[in-house]
Amino acid sequence: MSSSPFFEIDGMNVYYDRVRAIDDVSITVDRGEIVSVIGPNGAGKTTMLNAISGVLDYDGTVRFNGNELSDLSEREIVEYGVIHCSEDRDLFPFFTVHENLLMGAHLQGEAETRQRLEYVYDLFPRLNERREQEANTMSGGEQQMLAIGRALMSDPELLMLDEPTQGLAPIIIDDISDAMEELRSEGLSILLAEQNSSFAMRHAERLYLLETGTIELSGTADEFKNNEYVRDAYIGVT
């Protein structure tokens, strides 16, 4: 008997008008696994995540934990625990750090919200130091931590991160890296879309290479690191 994967995209196609941005993409994520989709600008990473979270229509199937997500609303998908931390972060600029985090806990009860706040402040001590600071006054790296922190407030089953290192200085990427490793040690399942292939290979157990909407390669982090094409085209690209 074959059991179905924890998370699975099967034959996804996404169109903008008649232009196909995602072309027959199939990927899986096992429970507790970090899987990354890498690829250059415009490859379709954001489009794929937006389709999974119900923002864009698509052909094909997305299954999560035995449920088909394809016909569900954005809210229902969030209720299943599939949480998307988007590339543009979507923070409330004039809300404080604390208020932004509370917005991520709208489905939680009071006790769980308190516990999640403690958890996020522990993961990102910088956010704890800046609880009362408005989001729009924070650095790009701090805003990224806040966006991830807010996504974690809902205690996700699958966290989808879209380019968490984009535009960040190496020293801040190190902080995000530490958080990724902490999340890995806790067994959180993560689907990471990244252009920064070094970061992706550092944290993901398995990767997919997406180019112009098509999966061109899949394999373990070691297979990717040793692949000549990946090495030539992507390693060192941040």
Q: Which residues bind ligand ATP (CB under 6 A)?
A: 16, 21, 39, 41-47, 87, 195
CA atoms within 13 Å, Cβ hemisphere of 216: 15
Q: Which one, 130 or 203, has the nearer CB to ligand ATP? A: 203
Structure tokens at 197: 């292939």
Q: Nearest distance from residue 182's CB to ligand ATP, in Å? A: 25
Q: Nearest distance from residue 74's CB to ligand ATP, in Å? A: 16
Place of tokens 């394809």: 70
What contacts 24+ positions apart, CB below 8 Å, involve 216-219? Answer: 218/27
Residue 213's contacts (CB-CB under 8 Å, 6 or more residues apart) are: 14, 20, 21, 22, 23, 25, 43, 44, 47
Q: Which one, 14 or 153, has the nearer CB to ligand ATP? A: 14
Q: For the chain, give percent helix, strand, coil, nearest 5.
A: 40, 25, 35
Q: Nearest distance from residue 47's CB to ligand ATP, in Å? A: 3
Q: Nearest distance from residue 39's CB to ligand ATP, in Å? A: 6
Q: Which one, 43 or 138, has the nearer CB to ligand ATP? A: 43
Q: Nearest distance from residue 201's CB to ligand ATP, in Å? A: 17
Nearest partner of 191 among 165, 158, 224, 216, judged by Cα: 158
Q: Which one, 52 or 180, has the nearer CB to ligand ATP? A: 52
Q: Which one, 22 or 117, has the nearer CB to ligand ATP? A: 22
Distance in angstroms (rounded) separating the CA atoms of residues 35 and 224: 12
